[in-house]
């Protein structure tokens, strides 16, 4: 099929590359001239596994980039809207970009088109898109509007797209349903998974589960899904706080809870809370939608409150461990909101770093991918390390703020030698207390008793016996 994707952010660029991977001819549109030029030069603007390979594979062939919505619409039969919907001060999503694109599409129609809202939007957005287009397009223009929410995790967005748990198509007539089924045909019938040149699957996979709904239901599915996942994170963080009060271990409690098949272990990791461009925005937007529909949804208020409180608790841990913060030199591992991405939007790590800087700490930080974006956001107020060990050297404590896999595999004896005080404060619970103690480190984590370093003689004996 011939597809246009308007917007080249995380969702739009990944979708465009993956549609090309499925065999479609794709035009990706953006009005940012610098980004467009970079994409046309072959650069990849975001850190995302397998995305550079897909762009290199399809750029200039199945995948092209353009600054013209009109040209893309005229050349395509299905148009995906994947522009930003940032939060407003009242929690509602800013839909002005969606409206602007809908108007441009309406003025460019040259035959029947299927317009697909791919951006994360509140319920009724498909109706508003349809209304705007009807009021803008020439008389007798033919089009349908479909909701097709994305369920992509930053860092694994490509494999999430090509190996999805489900594909949700919110369409109100058979013609548009058929078009979307054709778009995702290689995933629905499993033919993509038989290809030798496919992107490697994260797990054994056959075909994607197709869920066909009304447009309104599809719009609610996206917001409700993210709100539920955010709730799981806030719930386990609240349980972690109870664990600290009674000297229990949240990792042991988590294992017991997650073993229940009705609950599952995913999104049950205690830490400094969720962040990123999706959960904070989507929970607030879903709460706003609920209030507008006549339901206050108090549970979401508490989810948001607990998430914010986790960052404050972490700061209190740092202060309680170091006694005073003014003048302290801290090593920080991780600035992205989670491992696997360079996205620092709504990052708990960035918020914690800002608080520590306000307390007159000096910070040397390392992140495998997010350093440039973080430095821009922090106005160059931190120093950058080349690796985790340089961040730790001479520091009064080492703080782990992002769950990069590399940070869970450090040479702990080397870390102990580099630190001024043998203190690691872990906001992601990447280590066991016993391992840290054996390596001579005081270990402060979330929802667990503080681990004290073993005596040097005992530690040496345990390490020799290991």
Which has the closest alpha carbon to 143: 162, 130, 161, 158? 130
Distance CA 159, CA 162 (A): 5
Residue written as tokens 């709100």? Answer: 227
Distance CA 248, CA 448 (A): 6
SS percent in the chain: helix, strand, coil, step 5: 45, 15, 40
Is the distance from CB of 113 to CB of 105 less than 8 angstroms? Answer: yes
Is the distance from CB of 202 to CB of 196 less than 8 angstroms? Answer: no
Q: Which two tokens stand for residue 3?
A: 């597809």
Distance CA 238, CA 299 (A): 13
Which has the closest alpha carbon to 45: 28, 61, 60, 62? 28
Q: Which two tokens stand for residue 345?
A: 């939007």
Residue 4 pairs in a beta bridge with 27, 79
Report the helix count and the strand count for the chain, using DSSP H and E: 19, 14
Listing DSSP states for 85-142 in one string gives -PBPTTS-B--HHHHHHHHHHHTT--S-EEEEE-S---TTHHHHHHHHHHHHSPTT--
Catalytic residue among 278, 361, 384, 433: 278
Active site residue 243: no
Is the distance from CB of 391 to CB of 332 less than 8 angstroms? Answer: yes
- Cα radius of gyration rounded to whole Å, the chain: 24
The torsion defined by the Cα of 379, 382, 384 and 385, in degrees rounded to 10, comes to -170
Q: Can you tell me whether residue 52 is helix, strand or coil?
A: helix
Quick one: 139 exposed, middle or buried, by C-beta within 10 A (0-12, 13-18, 19+)? Answer: exposed
Active-site amino acid positions: 278
């Amino acid at each position: 099929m011939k597809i246009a994707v308007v917007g080249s952010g995380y969702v739009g660029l990944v979708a465009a590359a993956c549609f090309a991977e499925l065999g479609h001819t794709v035009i990706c549109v953006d009005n940012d001239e610098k980004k467009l030029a970079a994409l046309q030069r072959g650069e990849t603007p975001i850190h995302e596994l397998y995305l550079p390979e897909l762009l290199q594979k399809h750029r200039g062939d199945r995948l092209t980039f353009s600054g013209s919505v009109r040209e893309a619409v005229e050349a395509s039969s299905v148009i995906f809207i994947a522009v930003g919907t940032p939060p407003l001060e009242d929690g509602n999503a800013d839909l002005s970009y969606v409206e602007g694109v809908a108007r441009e599409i309406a003025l460019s129609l040259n035959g029947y088109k299927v317009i697909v809202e791919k951006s994360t939007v509140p319920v009724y957005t498909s109706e508003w898109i349809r209304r705007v287009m009807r009021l803008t397009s020439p008389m007798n223009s033919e089009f349908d509007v479909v909701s097709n929410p994305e369920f992509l995790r930053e860092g694994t967005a490509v494999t999430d797209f090509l190996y999805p748990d489900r594909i949700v198509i919110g369409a109100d007539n058979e013609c548009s349903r058929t078009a979307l089924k054709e778009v995702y045909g290689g995933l629905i019938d499993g033919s993509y998974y038989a290809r030798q040149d496919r992107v490697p699957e994260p797990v054994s996979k056959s075909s994607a589960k197709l869920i066909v709904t009304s447009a309104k239901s599809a719009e609610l599915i996206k917001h409700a899904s993210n709100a539920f996942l955010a709730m799981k994170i806030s719930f386990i963080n609240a349980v972690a706080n109870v664990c600290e009060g009674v000297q229990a271990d949240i990792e042991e409690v988590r294992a017991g809870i997650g073993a229940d098949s009705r609950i599952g272990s995913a999104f049950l990791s205690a830490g400094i809370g969720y962040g990123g461009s999706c959960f904070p925005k989507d929970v607030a937007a879903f709460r706003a939608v609920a209030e507008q529909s006549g339901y206050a949804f108090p549970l979401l208020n508490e989810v948001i409150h607990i998430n914010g409180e986790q960052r404050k608790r972490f700061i209190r841990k740092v202060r309680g461990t170091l006694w005073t913060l003014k003048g302290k030199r801290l090593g920080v591992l991780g600035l992205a909101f989670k491992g696997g991405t360079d996205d620092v939007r709504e990052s708990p790590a960035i918020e914690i770093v800002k608080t520590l800087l306000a307390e007159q700490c000096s910070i040397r930080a390392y992140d495998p991918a997010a350093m440039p974006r973080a430095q821009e956001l922090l106005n160059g107020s931190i120093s950058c390390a080349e690796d985790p060990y340089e961040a730790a050297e001479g520091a009064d404590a080492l703080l782990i703020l992002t769950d990069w896999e590399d940070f869970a595999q450090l040479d702990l004896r080397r870390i102990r030698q580099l630190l001024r005080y043998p203190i690691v404060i872990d906001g992601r619970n990447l280590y066991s207390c016993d391992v840290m103690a054996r390596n001579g480190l005081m270990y402060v984590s979330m929802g667990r008793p503080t681990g004290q370093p073993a005596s040097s003689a005992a530690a040496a004996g345990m390490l020799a016996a290991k």
